[in-house]
Structure 1
Amino acid sequence: MRLKLPLPDEMSPEQKQTYDEAVAGKRGKAPAPMMAWLNSPEMARHATRLGETLRFNTQFPPKLSEIAILVTARHWTAHYEWWAHKRLALQGGLDEKVIDAIRDRRTPIFDDPKGQMIYNVAKSLHEGHGLAKGLYDDAIKTLGERGLVEIIGLCGYYTMVSMTLNTFEFELPAGEVSELA
């Protein structure tokens, strides 16, 4: 870890307010990257609120939203993010074969057209920096405008998360080994 993360009793009043708000939220704890973001308390507050919205208040169940998050974690080779969200994806009901394919940079086979579309959109956003007209049209038909906006939001937010975790070299919990090469 390149950064000393503040303990709650070491935080400024602004940091502590943001930290306490996160702990009181749906996660029940402060998300790991927020601890680095606390160096900019106002940014941390807004980013953490956005993350909570994207995790818990989109039109997608975890089984589907975790696809976009895992594609993003894999794209950035974000070891901590992958570790955290693989567990959440499994808990949400995402097939382990799909998770393994994303990890291995293979195209997964989905039993749900929405899952396939979320994967296609996330891959295109990261690798192609946008969506070609045909993919855009198909995404609107399959996900709707709100759904497409939310997938873009998930990919963008988790890109920031991945960059934070990678830059400050967040370590996996003791005894955990990264699956990403």
Structure 2
Amino acid sequence: MRLKLISPDEMNADQKATYDEAVAGKRGAAPAPMLAWLNSPEMARHATRLGETLRFNTIFPAKLSEIAILVTARHFTAHYEWWAHKRLALKGGLDVEIIDAIRDRRTPRFDDPQAQMIYDVAKSLHEGHGLAKPLYDAAVRLLSERGLVEIIGLCGYYTLVSMTLNTFEFGLPEGEVSELA
């Protein structure tokens, strides 16, 4: 870890208010990258609120949202993010074969057209830096404009998360080993 993370009793008033808000939210804890973001309390406040909205208040169930998150974590080889969201994806009902394919940089097989579209959109955003018109049109038809905006939001937010975790070299919990090479 490149950054000394401060404990709640070491936080100034702005940091502590942001930390307390996160703990009182739907997560019930401060998300790992927020501990770095607290060096900029206002950024931490807004980023954490955005993350909570994207995790819990999109039109998609966790099973589908986690596809975009895992594609993002894999794109950035974000070890901590992958570790955390693989567990959430499994809990949400995402098939382990799909997760393993994303981990191994293989294209998964999907039975659900929405899941396939979310995967295709996430891959295109990261690898192509946007969506070609045919993919855009298909995504709007299948996911709706709101759904497409939310998938873009998930990919963008988890890009910030991945960059934060990678830059400050957040380690995995003791005893855990990364699956990503």
With the shorter chain as reference, the TM-score category is over 0.9
Runs of 4+ with deviation above 4 angstroms: none
Match for residue 122 of structure 1?
Answer: 122
Cα displacement string for residues 123-160 of structure 1 (whole angstroms, at most 9, x for unaligned residues) = 00000000000000100011000000000000000000
Alignment of 1:98-109 (within 5 A): 98-109=98-109
**Counterpart Cα distance in 2 of 1:73 and 1:36:** 18
Whether 1:65 aligns to 2:65 is: yes
- SS state at 1:143 partner: helix
What's the % identity of the aligned pairs? 85
Whether 1:22 aligns to 2:15 is: no
Normalized against structure 2, the TM-score is what? 1.00
- SS state at 2:48 partner: helix
**Counterpart Cα distance in 1 of 2:92 and 2:6:** 31
Match for residue 90 of structure 2?
Answer: 90
- SS state at 1:77 partner: coil
Cα displacement string for residues 97-144 of structure 1 (whole angstroms, at most 9, x for unaligned residues) = 000000000000011000000000000000000000000010001100
**Counterpart Cα distance in 2 of 1:172 and 1:128:** 30
Q: Which AA in structure 2 matches 1:164?
A: T
Match for residue 43 of structure 2?
Answer: 43
Structure 2 unaligned segments of length 5 or more: list them: none
RMSD over aligned Cα atoms: 0.2
**Counterpart Cα distance in 2 of 1:130 and 1:169:** 28
**Counterpart Cα distance in 1 of 2:81 and 2:31:** 11
Match for residue 155 of structure 1?
Answer: 155
Instruction: Report the Cα offset of residue 50 of structure 1.
Output: 0.1
Whether 1:178 aligns to 2:172 is: no
Normalized against structure 1, the TM-score is what? 1.00
Match for residue 76 of structure 1?
Answer: 76
- SS state at 2:86 partner: helix
